[in-house]
Chain A
Amino acid sequence: GQQVMQIPQYQHVQEGEDFTTYCNSSTTLSNIQWYKQRPGGHPVFLIQLVKSGEVKKQKRLTFQFGEAKKNSSLHITATQTTDVGTYFCAGRSNDYKLSFGAGTTVTVRA
């Protein structure tokens, strides 16, 4: 079945630095979604990417969908303490099933 792998599992970042988390699927995806879960909170939908090579930005967050629609990345610039949390990607296969990655847990050093 479809698997979505996410790396790294943990990301420790100095405040002000940039980082990227990656998501890879074993199969071609129809779309990919990203979620953020703050400590003690619930996952919150951030964005959905649908087109091959699509790039979307939300302030300091840049989301990219690969040309082959099998991978995606989330890049955060100038990390702030408000960026702390776990970022999940979720890939939707052609049978409409959504598979979540294991998440990247981000901690920030002030």
Chain B
Amino acid sequence: DSGVTQTPKHLITATGQRVTLRCSPRSGDLSVYWYQQSLDQGLQFLIQYYNGEERAKGNILERFSAQQFPDLHSELNLSSLELGDSALYFCASSVGSGGYTFGSGTRLTVV
């Protein structure tokens, strides 16, 4: 257990639907990052939050949004889902400029 909790582990949904992925960072970590990893692909940075505020944006589609709540957990909302959105979505957390601790990911399958 890395200390970063992601739910659900698996999600199967239809095209056009909306889903919410949840992440609880490691205790004490203020930064939360979301990454997308498609089959045999690298880690595509989506967005970062720090202590409730958006800190950096990567290649995040307009159909995707995220937020970090006062208790520091974060949610990634994916809407109008397309087949190409099928991927592993990782959440990571960190304190300062050290290494990231990744959660075990949510595998999203859009059918």
A residues in contact (CB < 8 Å) with B: 30-31, 33, 35, 41-45, 47-48, 88, 90, 92, 96-103, 105
Contacts and interface: CB of A to CB of B under 8 A. Distances in A.
B42 interface: yes
Interface in B72-109: 90, 92, 97-105
A92 B97 contact: yes
Contacts of A99: 45
B43 A96 contact: no
Contacts of B97: 30-31, 92, 96
Contacts, number: 47
Contact of B56 (A44, A92, A97): A97
Interface residues of B, number: 19
A88 B43 contact: yes
Contacts of B45: 98-100
A103 B102 contact: no
Nearest to B96: A96
Q: In the complex, which of the residues A41, A42, A92, A96 has the most CB atoms of chain B within 10 Å of its own CB atom?
A: A42
A42 B103 contact: yes
A23 to B, nearest CB: 12
A41 B104 CA distance: 7
Nearest to B105: A42
